[in-house]
Chains A and B, each alone.
Chain A
Amino acid sequence: MLLDIIYWATQRKWLIIALLIGALLYLLPTPHGLILSGYHTLIIVLTAILLIIYEPIPLPAVAMLILVFQVLFGIATPNEVAASFMSDAVFFIMGSLMLAVAIVSQGLDTRLALGIINITGHKTWRIVAGFVTVCAILSSFVGEHTVTAMMMPVGLTLVRHASRDPKKIMKLTGLILFSIAYGSAMGSIGTPSGGGRNVIMMGYLSQFEMGSLSYVEWMKYAYPMLLVEIPLAVILLWWTFSPEKRILDSAVRKLKVQVAKAGGITGRQLTSIGVFALVFLGWVFLSPTIGLGIVALLGVVLYLAFGLVEWQDLNRNTNWGVIMLFGAAISVGLQMKDTGAALWVATKVINMLRIVTGDLDIIRSFVSIFLTVGLTNFLSNAATVAVLGPIVLNMGGDAVIITLATALASAFAYMTVVASPTCMIIHSSGLVKPTDYLRAGWKMTLMSIAVLFLFIHLFWPLLG
């Protein structure tokens, strides 16, 4: 019994530490310039961040704790908390997770494989360029993890055909897997539907009544940046994982034979593509009126209605805990705005950085980009945006630019395994090491930040 208690305490030490820090802060006097409910909101945010990073308790428990604390601390009434828990952004995350299951289950990966190798041929650099480009473009519409889930079998099969001994082609393996992961992560900036975090930032922008961005407007700002990043990413990945084999002729041949066995495209696959095309058109034309989340849910209903996916499969592969957590994070994000906590933190940060420079634009860029990039590599990109969004939007300046810069910077999650779902998915293959993420990730991060800076200061002003 005593041993079990000691074991529990060692395993749950981050729960104990987080709650102790929270309790300690609760006992301290409210900082100057902050009202009590704002201070309590910040305590909840800090405690929740620790619990999300270290996961001493399941994520749904963290989500419930956030909601419960809001009521217990008197920040909001139960009905207010419940109302702020669900939003179009949460609908979008729920819908996109389900759409991913529906799309991945159609077996379109064989079609993609054939398409890529038919275009690229057998030279390794062309195959890598093909993977990065296809992953980036597809993930800009259907979401990063959906594309990674479809492309990873293709990449790994190619690698497996290249050599029977994985140790002889470790660099090639890294190159192909990171082309898929980084290509998909990079592509998620292209449109709002590329990632839940884009929709969260758009939601904050409109909920705080600071402006609005439509699907097409977002693309006008972000898509050119994505197109510039694609070739640069190919060069950086090639430089990092200079592969053992420059030509993959026999591997490509074997892959073609394997893929050919799947036969031609089926009616079911065509219907599935048709449904997604409708969803895309809905995002472009209907989302300003009915919201991105509602369109995503409508897409899920269509997939179910056409019998393209079973509810049991959707239910099994949708992480309801993550959806609850985003609901809770957005709810506390709104409280940060309403209680003035976000403004207080934003002012403090700006005042602190004014010691270094008086240029407010540089400070805003620094916080929205560097802080987001720093946090996104440890906290997951969507959670980063849910927490930082209200703060950066309270720093002043052009709210649309801040929204885009923060959402785009949160995609630069390249340096750790836990940074993004795509990084985690390729790590689950057991073929890449955590150090590989650092080796390739710092270059990708610097390149992405540089391109974003150039776009903020040179290209976006041209768009008005």
Chain B
Amino acid sequence: MKFLLAVSSEDYSRPTLRMGSQIAKSFDARLNVVYVGPKPKEFFAGRVSLARDSLAKWEIYHPGIEVLRWAFQDLQSSGYLENSGENGFDPLNMVEENDRYRMVLPGSYGQEIDLVLREGEIIEELRKECGEEDYTLSIIGGSKGRNMAHDLLQYLPTSVLVMKNLDIEKSYQILLCVDDSPATDRAVRFGGTIAKKMGMAVTLLTVSKHDEFGEGYTNAAKSAAQYLDSLNVSHEQKFLTGNPITTFVGAAGDDHLITMGASSRSPLKKFFLGSKPMKTLEQADCPILVVKGQ
């Protein structure tokens, strides 16, 4: 299993990096930390590249390399990477592969993580990155721009964890949204694993717009509870009626990790009408994990 973790800067990405790396560890997944920096306008790209070559001779590197250096050091200080005492991070070990730069890390570091630098438009580059390697999950920070996380959710082929308003000092519980959609089962497995490995309690929430809950809903809720029992994860089950999105958001507050399956709507409908996960992401005040695939 391989996770992609996108970082932007030391100031904004520390919580995402800390929590994201813990989740990767809980799945025993390989972690690729990716920085996407702004690409110079094509008009000037050659001249900027010339200036960068000149700067490198003075050991002044691309700002993205400094962000990756910080990420590497933070992963060492948080204990995610073992501090073996050897100098793992060397900007001279950056190699160009296709349209990205990858840091070649020595020894055991190289088996645990990859550090990747890309330049360009964020969504485009993360899509390319997902095409480069077989990622299961993309972890991103809660962007201030509403459309960014929204578009990433729509266009990335992987499951997406958006660390919206994440506070690493806070203890989070998981709010597992259960319905009869095909992706719910995978969401339950994903959420259940995180809960077990990270010691989080789970609330299973099933919301119906009507007063009655159909057989599909009750079966899905029952199956989810059985799965959590099998993992020995403590959980409570709730059945509520109302607007699903406002109910999810209200129940989650700011101390839950909302976990839900991806919408089964067609891409065209999602583009024009949106989807339940997208609208939940827009309104929620907490991190949200949207699980895609079967």
* Chain A interface residues toward B at CB < 8 A: 2-3, 6-7, 10-11, 52, 55, 58-59, 97, 100-101, 104-105, 107, 109, 145, 148-150, 152-154, 156-157, 160, 317-319, 321-322, 325, 380, 383, 418, 420-421, 424-425, 427-431
Asked whether A428 and B40 contact (CB < 8 A) given A2-B268, A157-B58, the answer is yes
Closest-CB distance, A247 to chain B (whole angstroms): 23
Is B50 part of the contact surface with A, judged by Cβ < 8 Å? yes
Flag if A6 contacts B271 (CB, 8 Å). Answer: yes
Flag if B63 contacts A317 (CB, 8 Å). Answer: no
Flag if A383 contacts B50 (CB, 8 Å). Answer: no
> Which of B40, B47, B57, B121: most chain A CB closer than 10 A?
B47
Could you mark each residue 37-81 of chain B with 1 if its beta carbon is under 8 Å from any beta carbon of chain A, else 0? 110111111111111111101101011101000000000000000
Is B124 part of the contact surface with A, judged by Cβ < 8 Å? yes
CA–CA, A103 and B267, complex, Å: 52
Could you mark each residue 222-240 of chain B with 1 if its beta carbon is under 8 Å from any beta carbon of chain A, else 0? 0000000000000000000
Flag if A424 contacts B40 (CB, 8 Å). Answer: yes
CA–CA, A19 and B60, complex, Å: 42
Majority DSSP secondary structure for residues of B touching A: helix
* Interface residue ranges of B105-158 to A (CB < 8 Å): 121, 124, 127, 151, 154-155
> Considering only CB atoms, which chain B residue lies closest to A57 in the complex?
B42
Flag if B55 contacts A153 (CB, 8 Å). Answer: yes
Asked whether A428 and B51 contact (CB < 8 A) given A2-B266, A3-B155, A97-B46, the answer is yes
> Considering only CB atoms, which chain B residue lies closest to A317 in the complex?
B50
CA–CA, A164 and B55, complex, Å: 18
Majority DSSP secondary structure for residues of A touching B: helix
CA–CA, A59 and B64, complex, Å: 25
Q: How many A-B residue pairs have CB under 8 A?
A: 108
Closest-CB distance, A198 to chain B (whole angstroms): 17
CA–CA, A325 and B151, complex, Å: 32
CA–CA, A424 and B40, complex, Å: 7
Sampled A-B contacts (10; CB under 8 Å)? A3-B155, A149-B47, A149-B50, A152-B55, A317-B49, A319-B42, A380-B43, A418-B41, A421-B47, A430-B66
Flag if A429 contacts B63 (CB, 8 Å). Answer: yes
The size of the chain B interface, using a CB distance under 8 A, is 35
User: What are the 10 tightest A-B residue pairs by CB atom distance, in nearest-first order?
Assistant: A430-B63, A319-B46, A153-B58, A149-B51, A3-B267, A145-B47, A424-B44, A421-B47, A421-B44, A425-B51
The one of B47, B127, B151, B155 in contact with A319, judged by C-beta atoms closer than 8 angstroms, is B47
Flag if B44 contacts A153 (CB, 8 Å). Answer: no
Flag if A318 contacts B46 (CB, 8 Å). Answer: yes
Could you mark each residue 251-285 of chain B with 1 if its beta carbon is under 8 Å from any beta carbon of chain A, else 0? 00000000000000011100100000000000000
Asked whether A101 and B51 contact (CB < 8 A) given A319-B45, A418-B41, the answer is no
Beyond known contacts A55-B42, A149-B54, A425-B51: 10 more, CB 8 A cutoff: A55-B41, A104-B54, A145-B51, A153-B55, A317-B46, A317-B49, A317-B50, A322-B43, A418-B44, A425-B48
CA–CA, A169 and B201, complex, Å: 46
CA–CA, A425 and B47, complex, Å: 8
Flag if A101 contacts B60 (CB, 8 Å). Answer: no
Asked whether A150 and B268 contact (CB < 8 A) given A55-B42, A425-B48, A430-B63, the answer is no
Closest-CB distance, A288 to chain B (whole angstroms): 29
